[in-house]
Amino acid sequence: MSAWERLVKPAKGGDVARVFRLLLELDADDRKAVAAQLPRHLSGLRMEDWWSWRHQLRPLRLAGVACLGGAAAVTAWLFRREFQWVESDDERVILLLRQRPAEWRADVARRIAGRLRLNDMRYWEVAAALVRETGIEPPDGDAFMVGWLRALHLGTAATDPLFTAFAPRLFEVDGLGEALPAQVGTVARLVEDGLLERKPVIDGIVGRLLRDGPSALSALAVLHDRLDLDIDESAERARDYTRLLPAGPVAVADLALAQLRRLEEAGRLEEELFAEAMEALAFRPEKKLLRAALSWAGDAVLRDARRADVVLAAMSLIFAQDTLALQERAVRLVVKLAPRAGEAGREAVRQAAAGLPEELLERVSAAYGGDIAAEEVIVTPLPAVGQGPALPPPYASPDQLVRAVSVPEVDPHTYERLLAGLVEWSHRAPDALREALRPWLEPFDSIFFGHNREDPVHAVRRAFLAFAAPGDALPKDAIRQPPTLGGFKRLYFGRAAELARSFEEGEGYPVLLATPTEGSGHVDPGVLLDRLELLEAAGARALPGDLVQALLRLPRDLPDACVRRARRLTSEAGRTCAAWMRDGGAPDPRVTVHLRTERNGYYLSGMPALRPVLDVPDDLPEELRPLYRPEAGYAFTLEWWPLAMPSHPEIVAAHMVWMMSICIDSSEAQTQSLVGLAHADGPLGSAVAHALACGMGHENAADRAAATDALLTLAARGRVPAQALAETLTKLVAEGFLKLNRVVSVLDDATQAGAHEAVWEVVVRLLPGLLPQEGERPRAGAADLLAAGARAARIAGVRAELPDVAAVAARKGPSRLVQEARRLQHLVALPKKSTL
């Protein structure tokens, strides 16, 4: 038997140990013969039987390491995509590589190190072993250094050449966060044992914290604390600690504040740095740091009364923090320091106090000479909104069109442009379009056309293929609409599939009916009639999916002239359009949404999710019925759906809420679809309220920002469904599905952007259901909700009776909930009636 025959049988059975032994016995000629067979054999393996395929990969990887000739070839073999699926064999790989000369192994070590990435550290152990054995200078790539830090061990550090090379540059590694958190204790012990010099380590920590600023690692702060600096070490770095306060993460700012306060208490902090630290802390948004600043300021001014003006300047900055408890503490300190205030401190306080709530303003005014007028409320106007994003222009040439269809992913507007461009250029310049598509056809690229894919991009590409090479490249069933697609996915996929069929059948299509004329997805009724008349003039039959989509994109309010004009159409499609315009289009269903626990699916079992139900009219046309059955499966194209039915937001939202509800703590960016939904026309009810609530309660700030944008658009259009939204939020917060503080952050952002009136309409409806009754424990975020209401009410200048708020305000005690209730009640109190 040849060497290859002896190897291939155990390799097919996944016998790694036997293949390894055989490889050690091969001579040079045998290795050369095996190397000639390996690449073709690996490429010919099929994945039909996953486990069998996977078991063959381990021995084949070893065979390549032992038999391929050059260092470059062996490195490329190790990093082949197939091998990422199998577990490591680093020890066997190293043993096989030791059969090669030292210079060759050093070359492999450098090449492997160069291929390492922070998200793919395969073979780091192999490269490290080769570096140590050959004695070459360790590679300085970031990933290689991160691998060293991950593997750093107290017992081997002293004798490891990698430690000698990398220890002085420990805090220069860009990927430090990938390894340091797990190695804080090891690094601290190395300092204690003298293997790492203490001063350079402390300097490295502080320097790296300064360099990284807002993205600084909290693990560095933990390491700093583990080193337990003495007072002299802290004093040496006082200026650096002050520079960390303005922008460092909370953990880093905590570290810096602790060191500065320690120095100030010991009389070792310069007054200039004390003033700088106070100002930096007063600008921080985190309540924890602001409370610490208030505490430090009060203690520091007791130790040295000459600091009064510095402290007053900092307190005046804290006046601008829109948190009543912080403002009250700052006011108490300011009033206490009034007798010691200098001219600069008094002026700073008087200017800043104008923005305080009325009761606090009166206290400051009385202590600082009176006549401090409340500042005028600045009202931010809502931004003007149009009909969604501006539509991109049509493709100007076949080459431009083909370049666009070659992009891996497209958005819904690009999808529409591609279909429209294919129809246009297949008529205007068919030969030029075929020539532009030739690189994908000769040789034919089946992956590009994705005949087994169900996404819209590949559906569009198959329509291009059907035009360029009808019947030659793909089987007929490749352009069939997959039966498993839900309503909106079926709508998009079906339009591309039916266009492909028209090309396959040699008919073509003169003009697309459904291409939007507005960024919201709407089709102008006059333009649709123009297109239908063009079809009739050409004697062409409207494609069914294209016609349905066009009708679904008509606005709700149609000019009488268009309704009359539609009656003059003679084709079947024209008569359908005329009836649609006459009868008012698709009916509006009533939607109810239930919060249920998922029972099916391995990953979803036990997860709460929102399940919408639509009442379907008995006489609903069959082609519309899938759109009245909400999606209940994974879909990552929600931003496509508002454009499909821009006049029926309740139906669209009903399809969205299940996916949005299960992604509320993930980063799938599903909330971006809310912006498109906000541009829709038609009634807004329970489904839209639930979709918007999911966005407002999302874990990620970026996803909540999309909900804020949607709320602003609705407010600018006068279409916020305040009652439905408040009822939905109350229900979902009470049932524990949404966190109230996240919802409040969206309401606050909307208030600041000009939607204060709409926010107030929502908040005033939320308060009765979310404020605690007498004897009840307040829910988390209830005080924040009151504060958000106060901010909106102050800007809107509202007056109202709020009995639920009054009941909380009448309670005894200094809790923040009671304080915020009193502030809101005071802001919106109705004028007292005259007794005359």
Average pLDDT over residues 522-532: 97
pLDDT band at 480 (very low <50, low <70, confident <90, very high): very low
Instruction: Characterize 170-193 residue by residue with b for buried, 16 or more Cβ atoms within 10 angstroms of its Cβ, and e for exposed.
Output: bbebebbbbbbeebbeebbebbee
Alpha-helical regions (H) of 116-228: 124-134, 142-151, 154-157, 161-166, 180-192, 198-212, 218-227
The region, left, alpha or beta by phi > 0 then psi within -120 to 50, assigned to residue 119 is alpha
**Residue 522, token pair as written in the block:** 């709407």
The DSSP bridge pattern shows strands 591-597 and 608-614 to be antiparallel
Q: Residue 592 forms beta bridges with which residues?
A: 613
In terms of Cβ atoms closer than 10 Å to its own Cβ (0-12, 13-18, 19+), residue 99 is: middle
pLDDT band at 630 (very low <50, low <70, confident <90, very high): confident
Ranges 379-393, 495-509, 590-604, most confident: 495-509
pLDDT recorded at residue 55: 82
From CA 30, how far away is CA 728, in angstroms rounded?
Answer: 73
CA distances from 532 to 220, 422, 546, 562, 749 (A): 68, 18, 11, 12, 46
Query: Within a 13 Å sphere around the CA of 260, how many CA atoms are in the beta-carbon half?
Result: 30
**Residue 188, token pair as written in the block:** 């601290």
Beta carbons of 317 and 289 less than 8 angstroms apart: no
In terms of Cβ atoms closer than 10 Å to its own Cβ (0-12, 13-18, 19+), residue 605 is: exposed
pLDDT recorded at residue 46: 65
Predicted TM-score of the model (pTM): 0.77
Residue 482 has pLDDT above 60, yes or no: no
In terms of Cβ atoms closer than 10 Å to its own Cβ (0-12, 13-18, 19+), residue 21 is: exposed
Which tens digits make up the pLDDT trace of 112-129? 999 999 989 999 999 999
Q: Residue 313 carries which side chain, given as an amino acid letter?
A: A
Q: How many CB atoms lie within 10 A of CB 376?
A: 7
**Residue 734, token pair as written in the block:** 């009470």
From CA 282, how far away is CA 313, in angstroms rounded?
Answer: 9
CA distances from 224 to 213, 552, 593 (A): 16, 63, 52
Which tens digits make up the pLDDT trace of 222-280? 999 999 999 999 999 999 999 999 999 999 999 999 999 999 999 999 999 999 999 99
Mean pLDDT of the chain: 91
Closest CA to 282 of 231, 327, 240: 327
Residue 734 has pLDDT above 50, yes or no: yes
From CA 106, how far away is CA 135, in angstroms rounded?
Answer: 8
Residue 473 has pLDDT above 50, yes or no: no
Q: How many CB atoms lie within 10 A of CB 333?
A: 19
Q: How far apart are the first and last CA of the chain?
A: 118
> Among 29-33, 386-390, 674-678, 813-817, where is mean pLDDT lowest?
386-390
Closest CA to 481 of 503, 507, 463, 506: 463
- Residue given tokens 């308060």 in the structure block: 767
**Residue 771, token pair as written in the block:** 């404020």
pLDDT recorded at residue 476: 46
Average pLDDT over residues 464-491: 64
Q: Residue 116 carries which side chain, given as an amino acid letter?
A: L
Residue 793 has pLDDT above 50, yes or no: yes
pLDDT band at 508 (very low <50, low <70, confident <90, very high): confident
Beta carbons of 179 and 150 less than 8 angstroms apart: yes
- Whether the ω angle into residue 443 lies within 30 degrees of 0, i.e. cis, is yes
Q: Is the dihedral of CA 97, 99, 102, 103 positive or negative?
A: negative
* Long-range own/partner contacts, residues 458-463 (CB < 8 A, 24 or more apart): 459/492, 459/493, 459/496, 459/497, 459/500, 460/405, 460/410, 460/415, 460/418, 460/419, 460/422, 460/496, 461/405, 462/496, 462/497, 462/500, 463/419, 463/422, 463/496, 463/497, 463/499, 463/500, 463/503
Which tens digits make up the pLDDT trace of 38-76? 988 887 776 556 677 778 899 999 999 999 999 999 999
Query: Torsions phi, psi of 596, nearest 5?
Result: -130, 160
Closest CA to 423 of 488, 330, 514, 347: 514
pLDDT recorded at residue 445: 67
**Residue 580, token pair as written in the block:** 């649609």
From CA 523, how far away is CA 80, in angstroms rounded?
Answer: 50
The region, left, alpha or beta by phi > 0 then psi within -120 to 50, assigned to residue 831 is beta
Q: How many CB atoms lie within 10 A of CB 439?
A: 12
Please tell me the total number of residues recorded for the chain in this structure. 836
Q: Which residue has the higher pLDDT, 208 or 321?
A: 208
Alpha-helical regions (H) of 623-685: 649-662, 673-678
From CA 266, how far away is CA 443, in angstroms rounded?
Answer: 79
pLDDT recorded at residue 44: 75
Beta carbons of 505 and 469 less than 8 angstroms apart: no
pLDDT recorded at residue 45: 74
pLDDT recorded at residue 454: 62
